[in-house]
Structure 1
Amino acid sequence: MSSSSMRRPRQLSHKPWRTVLAAGLMSAVLAGCGTAAPDLQKDAAQQLQAKVLTVSEAAAGSDRAAALKSLDELVAQLDASAADGSVSFKRHQAIMKAIEAVRADLVAAQAQAEAAAAEAAAAAEAAATAAAQASQAAAQPPAQVQAPAPAQGNSGPGKGEKGKDKDD
């Protein structure tokens, strides 16, 4: 077995990116809500939390494309909240850091799923080709072996017997 066939792709479990998604974004959004000068206003926090929930649900349902789309919407909403002063620059940066970590995990999980799907498709194609070849081989009649022709022998009067039948 070659060393390349022994290597197995790194498998990401669902738990790490769910944990990063839930804990990272939620803690970034919720942390410090009780400070005197809020870095994040209550309305902005609620809107962002709703988007975080949408991202979490899509990711938990293994719909990475929807999770990435919701993550983009979260970024747009975060940027808008920062522009209107509902989110401080410091908080915006902290939340963006958490979003990028989640995005990296989602992209990695999506790439792994696509690679696994491509590998499964290649295996299915190879199996179908092997089955077609086996079916074709079974459908061909067995090769007929021809029996050898009987040997030509001296069964009748030959040159040596020509003279025996004559009267001299």
Structure 2
Amino acid sequence: MPGRQITDHQMRLLMTLRQTDNTPIAAAKAGFSTASGYRIEADPRPPSTKRASRSRRRPDPLEHVFEAEIVRMLSAAPHLRSIAVYEEMLRRHPDLGAGIRRTVERRVRQWRAVRGPEQEVIFRQIHEPGRLGLSDFTDMADLGVTVAGEPLDHRLYHFRLA
């Protein structure tokens, strides 16, 4: 299928089918083109081992200012918006250029995730009617209830649906 990456499973399937079928048939059964089948036969490493890790496409434009200035600003005011940081950096360093907005936003978001203020975590609870019951016993001996002059040692049982 065009535009889709070939998985390790598809490659192993091709190599298994290749023992009984020719390359075009084995590639079709594995779910990709004949050209991909021939390309895999030429380099039989699994696709997961072929992928190189992605590196930077260009030099970091914030390399000299992020730790020195931006982190200092965020430490002093952790809830400062990234657009305000961006505008302040353009005011201080006009040579940075307008194309660094997304870089500033991304770097500020990463800094907040690791070193920013603690975030409140909420676990919502959904109680479906009739699904959960609450049950409780209460010891009533302390009330001093008597029946025909004899103390009544008893408990009350309480049950309700959540």
TM-score w.r.t. the length of structure 2 is 0.20
Task: Choose 1 or 2 for highest CA Rg.
Answer: 1
Greater helix content: 1
Relative contact order, CA 8 A, sep 6+: which one is greater?
Answer: 1
Query: Whose strand fraction is larger, Structure 1's or Structure 2's?
Result: 2
